[in-house]
């Protein structure tokens, strides 16, 4: 479509610029002629620079055969009416008001397109930011606790799709609760941020898809629109590993202190116990078995023997020395430990089975200490299992983690949630005959090997202890 413009002012110049920049889908308009009585009119100057037809008299347009549309931009009604009288029937004419209307539409469309592009750019930046650059958990919430979005990192941890989280309550997704967080120990960061309009930081305990506790350091930032907080962005960093390290250090210090105390107590009472036991046994030898004192002396001897057993455990606990490591076959250690516990297993009518990895490489360890730890776990499992039950000892190799895994699982009574957090504490036991030191000793041995020990248990569903040991050298001395 060829256009001739009557009135070469600023509007003409803007019209020409717009036609050049805009992409048209169905028509291809172009300005071919401009008329204005002033030679320095902006539109006329541009047309002259582009080599188009220019004139001071718009009547020169009417004899041209290359004009399809005449646009009147002078704003004079008499000029427009004169154009309508003189133009060819095949040529259309538009006055300045109609041209302005279409111009406003075009301008609005361009603004809308620009805003759309800006929104698309913002969304792209947002997606890159929360899904690629920020590796922590990100959640966007409205002030009513409804989730507006979460990033892929958090979705993966929760085991859900991002779209499935939108619209649900944050406390429902993160805490598996039916009401918002509250209380001094578990304040809701969203409430604090909305109330103050300022960022808020707190530590929370979340539950993953397996209902395991995860410690999070949470930073909550307000989303403000027209001076009002309309929502918040919450960034949570998993500090579970840091908390575990801190707890481990506290446990280590506590164990060391208790160990020193235990050694002192054991040495102080060992000699008197030996005297009591020896005296009771000597007197008993000279006492008629029918004498009523004979049974009382037997009780004294039995209780003294039980005390000596506790003292022996105390000394074992206190003597947790640095492991003397060498390359050893863990499968062989497992087999030897099972053999040593088989008599106790048979007495309790419990089967002890092995499930050993064939590709297990030798690992750097103190064979005697690992065997002691393993026997402690197997004996505990046997004691916790009813007659006819089963204990399984297994090994696995994880090349990617540069380590091996040792498991002891049973089909026994299980451990309550209340007790499971205390089982590695010295002197904690649920058995009448237990000293409460076996698992504490086992925990110390594994830690000194640079490994970890975890427990997974449910009442009436059995217990599983998992030990992970590194293949690389960790602490201690090595024998070669």
Count CB atoms within 10 A of the CB of residue 228: 11
Higher pLDDT, 204 or 335: 335
| Cross-strand pairs, 408 | 393, 465
Q: For 189-248, how does the pLDDT look when each residue is reduced to its tens digit (9 = 90+)?
A: 888 888 888 998 888 777 666 667 778 888 888 988 888 888 888 888 888 877 777 766
Do residues 382 and 419 both lie within one domain? yes
Do residues 377 and 301 both lie within one domain? no
Max avg pLDDT among 101-115, 116-130, 300-314: 300-314
Do residues 224 and 302 both lie within one domain? no
- Are the C-beta atoms of 363 and 451 separated by less than 8 Å? no
**Structural domain for 88, as ranges:** 2-107
In a domain, 123, yes or no: no
In a domain, 117, yes or no: no
Do residues 308 and 336 both lie within one domain? no
CA angle 178, 180, 184 (to 5 degrees): 130
Q: What are phi and psi of 441, to 5 degrees?
A: -65, -45
Higher pLDDT, 24 or 321: 24
Do residues 142 and 205 both lie within one domain? yes
- Alpha-carbon distances, residue 241 vs 109, 443, 444 (angstroms): 54, 17, 19
Mean pLDDT computed over every residue of the chain: 81
- Are the C-beta atoms of 359 and 397 separated by less than 8 Å? yes
Model confidence at 350, in pLDDT bands (50, 70, 90)?
A: very high
Domain boundary among 203, 238, 273: 238
Do residues 334 and 466 both lie within one domain? yes
Q: Is the per-residue pLDDT at 475 higher than 50?
A: no
Do residues 337 and 460 both lie within one domain? yes
Q: What percent of the chain has pLDDT over 70?
A: 80
Do residues 368 and 393 both lie within one domain? yes
Q: What is the pLDDT of residue 480?
A: 37
Q: For 138-174, how does the pLDDT look when each residue is reduced to its tens digit (9 = 90+)?
A: 888 899 999 888 888 888 888 888 888 889 998 888 7
Do residues 8 and 78 both lie within one domain? yes
| Cross-strand pairs, 206 | 214
C-alpha–C-alpha distance, residues 163 and 159, integer Å: 12
Higher pLDDT, 107 or 49: 49
Model confidence at 476, in pLDDT bands (50, 70, 90)?
A: very low
Q: What is the pLDDT of residue 127?
A: 60
Q: For 424-456, how does the pLDDT look when each residue is reduced to its tens digit (9 = 90+)?
A: 776 667 665 555 667 877 888 888 888 888 998
Instruction: Work out how many domains the chain is built from and give that number.
Output: 4
Do residues 366 and 394 both lie within one domain? yes
Q: What is the pLDDT of residue 19?
A: 81
Q: What is the pLDDT of residue 104?
A: 63
Q: What is the pLDDT of residue 343?
A: 86
| Cross-strand pairs, 478 | 325
Q: What is the pLDDT of residue 390?
A: 92
Domain boundary among 238, 257, 283: 238
The two beta strands, 200-207 and 213-225, are antiparallel
Query: Does the model's pTM come out above 0.75?
Result: no
Do residues 357 and 474 both lie within one domain? yes
Nearest residue to 127 (alpha-carbon basis) of 145, 153, 108: 153
Strand, coil or helix: 367: helix
Q: For 82-99, how does the pLDDT look when each residue is reduced to its tens digit (9 = 90+)?
A: 989 998 989 988 888 777
The arithmetic mean of pLDDT across residues 358-374, rounded, is 87
Q: CATH code at 443?
A: 3.30.565.10
């Amino acid at each position: 479509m060829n256009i001739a413009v009557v009135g070469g002012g600023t509007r003409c110049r803007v019209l020409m610029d717009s036609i050049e920049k805009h992409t048209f889908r169905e028509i291809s308009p172009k300005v071919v002629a401009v008329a204005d009585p002033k030679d320095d009119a902006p539109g006329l100057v541009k047309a002259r620079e582009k080599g188009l037809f220019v004139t001071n008299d718009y009547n020169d347009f009417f004899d041209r055969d290359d004009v399809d549309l005449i646009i009147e931009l002078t704003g004079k009604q008499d000029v427009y009416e004169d154009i309508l009288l003189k133009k060819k029937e095949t040529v259309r004419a538009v006055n300045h008001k109609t041209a302005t209307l279409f111009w406003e539409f075009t301008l609005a469309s361009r603004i809308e397109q620009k805003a759309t592009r800006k929104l698309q750019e913002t969304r792209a930046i947002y997606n890159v930011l929360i899904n690629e650059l920020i590796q922590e958990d990100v959640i966007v919430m409205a002030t009513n606790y409804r989730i507006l979005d979460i990033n892929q990192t958090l979705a993966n941890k929760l085991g859900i799709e991002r779209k499935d989280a939108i619209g649900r309550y944050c406390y429902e997704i993160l805490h598996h609760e039916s009401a918002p967080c509250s209380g001094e120990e578990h304040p809701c960061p969203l409430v604090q941020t909305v109330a103050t309009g300022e960022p808020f930081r707190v530590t929370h305990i979340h539950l993953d898809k397996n209902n395991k506790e995860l410690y999070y350091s949470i930073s909550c930032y307000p989303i403000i629109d027209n001076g009002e907080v309309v929502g918040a962005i919450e960034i949570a960093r998993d500090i579970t590993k840091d908390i575990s390290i801190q707890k481990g250090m506290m446990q280590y210090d506590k164990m060391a202190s208790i160990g020193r105390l235990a050694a002192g107590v054991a040495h102080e009472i060992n000699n008197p116990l030996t005297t009591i036991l020896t005296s009771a046994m000597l007197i008993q030898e000279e006492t008629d078995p029918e004498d009523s004192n004979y049974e009382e002396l037997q009780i004294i001897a039995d209780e003294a023997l039980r005390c000596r057993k506790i003292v022996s455990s105390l000394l074992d606990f206190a003597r947790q020395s640095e492991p003397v490591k060498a390359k050893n076959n863990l499968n062989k250690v497992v087999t030897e430990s099972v053999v040593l516990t088989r008599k106790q297993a048979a007495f309790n009518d419990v089967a002890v089975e092995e499930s050993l990895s064939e590709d297990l490489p030798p690992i750097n360890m103190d064979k005697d200490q690992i065997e002691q730890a393993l026997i402690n776990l197997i004996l505990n499992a046997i004691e916790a299992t009813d007659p006819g039950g089963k204990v399984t000892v297994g090994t696995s190799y994880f090349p990617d983690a540069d380590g091996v895994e040792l498991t002891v699982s049973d089909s026994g009574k299980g451990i309550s949630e209340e007790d499971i957090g205390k089982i590695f504490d010295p002197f904690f036991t649920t058995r009448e005959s237990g000293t409460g030191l076996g698992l504490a000793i086992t925990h110390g041995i594994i830690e000194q090997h640079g490994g970890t020990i975890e427990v997974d248990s449910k009442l009436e569903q059995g217990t599983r202890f998992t030990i992970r040991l590194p293949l690389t050298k960790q602490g201690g001395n090595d024998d070669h």
